[in-house]
Amino acid sequence: MTTTPNLTLPYLAAGQAQKHVTLNESLRMLDALVQLSAVSRAISTPPASPAEGHRYIIAAGASGVWSGHVGKVAAFQDGGWMIYAPKEGWLVYVQDEDKLYAFDGAAWLVAGGASQSQPLFGVNATADTTNRLSVSSPATLFNHEGAGHQLKLNKAAAAQTASILFQTGFSGRAEIGTAGDDLFRLKTSADGATWRNVLTVDQTNGNTGVGISTISMSTRFNVESPDGGTARFVNAGGGGAGGGAGLLTYTWVTPVAAGDRFGQILFGSLCDGTMPGGVNAAGFSAHADGAWTVGSSHPSMIRFDTTPSGGAGRAERLRITSSGKVGIGTTTPSATLHVNGELRIGSFTVAGLPSASTLGAGAVVFVSNESGGAVLAFSDGTNWRRVTDRAIVT
């Protein structure tokens, strides 16, 4: 053997003449390879005026005397370039990157973490078998590479969890994602133990629930309160003629024809405690009260429905038409107030009659003890008069 096995340093032979030549060659190699520090690993062309002793990791596309030596160590020594082939396990500090690289037998990799499939990785923190990637810092940035960027959370099966958990003192306070199934949920907790569903979205149809954990109803938006709470809409900007909060419902129909429904609010009970079961027993709805001419004529009406005792379906009870006429028991009111059925008005004694002038001319009451007998009476603006003969009520 004429060279050492690791750095290939030449041995001095017994009786060798000019031993200093061999010794100097070994010293030159040691100077180049021990405590290896390269100026750069991004240069492929030998510098025109290199400093004595400078070393480089030859980059791809090597040319000149570096040609054919990509990945090797080039050292400028005694006015010329010496090329050294690295071996697996060699370390080099790259000065223009301030990084330590290791040679894995084929390429230079960042020492201690650039290779694939590292079991644990901590950044200013200690990783463990549960939190295999652990970061302790004021912020974490995931940046694009010229276009968009996605953060992907993948789970093995629907029954598993893919979520983002927000904690205070390592105790959960909010969680968003898919946990236990594929419904998308937002949950909150006051103590990290008892959780409350705030928002649930069905992944198959987009149906959304507020305050419920399971979407099994056919309606698009559902609100449930376990303690009988209510939903509130508030306009924080103040009042005025255009102020106040509102709930808007629209129909996506064109052209709009008479009878088209714009929206409805229904009231009822789940009865059997399941969804989408239940009975919608009462409600009100808005409809077109004639064909629309968009931009110039939008007739509309509101109808109110209830379900009678012994019945199972809603029936219309009251309607307000586009002309402002109110119909009770009729769908075609012909007067400002049209009642198709019995009508009962307030009953008063003579002593208990309200002021005729305050109520104004046209007000009608029933007088139970008028001197001539019980009678309907109307106000002429000053006095109450009997409907039968216009005499003043006494």
Using one digit for the tens of pLDDT, what is the confidence trace for 330-370? 999 999 999 999 999 999 999 999 999 999 999 999 999 99
DSSP letter for 87, please: -
SS3 readout for 235-260: CCCCCCCCCCCCCCCCCCCCCCCCCC
Measured CA to CA in angstroms, residue 344 lies from 297, 341, 385, 390 at distances of 37, 10, 19, 21
CA distance 388 to 111: 110
Q: Which uninterrupted H or E stretch holds 86?
A: none
H helical segments located in 279-372: 356-359
Place of tokens 């002021």: 355
What pLDDT is recorded for position 244?
A: 77
DSSP letter for 357, please: H
Q: Which residues of the chain have pLDDT under 50?
A: none
CA angle 2, 6, 9 (to 5 degrees): 40
CB 345 within 8 A of CB 366: yes
Place of tokens 């039968």: 388
What's the token pair of residue 331? 């769908």
How many other C-beta atoms can be found within 10 angstroms of the C-beta atom of residue 299? Answer: 16
CA distance 214 to 179: 12
CB 303 within 8 A of CB 309: no
What pLDDT is recorded for position 246?
A: 81
Strands 221-223 and 208-210: parallel
What pLDDT is recorded for position 111?
A: 85
Measured CA to CA in angstroms, residue 158 lies from 161, 177, 391 at distances of 8, 12, 83
Beta bridge partners of 286: 263, 302
What pLDDT is recorded for position 324?
A: 97
What pLDDT is recorded for position 28?
A: 75
Strand order in the sheet with 279-288: 261-269, 279-288, 300-306, 315-320, 326-328, 337-339
Beta bridge partners of 320: 302, 326
Q: Is the pTM of this model over 0.75?
A: no
CA distance 64 to 81: 11
What pLDDT is recorded for position 42?
A: 95
How many other C-beta atoms can be found within 10 angstroms of the C-beta atom of residue 122? Answer: 15
Dihedral angle over CA of 152, 156, 159, 161, nearest 10: -40
Terminal Cα distance for the chain, rounded = 142
What pLDDT is recorded for position 248?
A: 83
H helical segments located in the chain: 19-33, 356-359
Return the closest-CA partner of residue 106 out of 62, 63, 70, 82: 70
Q: Identity (one letter) of the amino acid at 49? A: S
Q: Is the dihedral of CA 378, 380, 382, 386 positive or negative?
A: negative
What pLDDT is recorded for position 252?
A: 81
What pLDDT is recorded for position 366?
A: 97
Strands 91-94 and 37-38: parallel
Q: Identity (one letter) of the amino acid at 82? A: M
CA distance 361 to 378: 8
Place of tokens 């586009």: 322
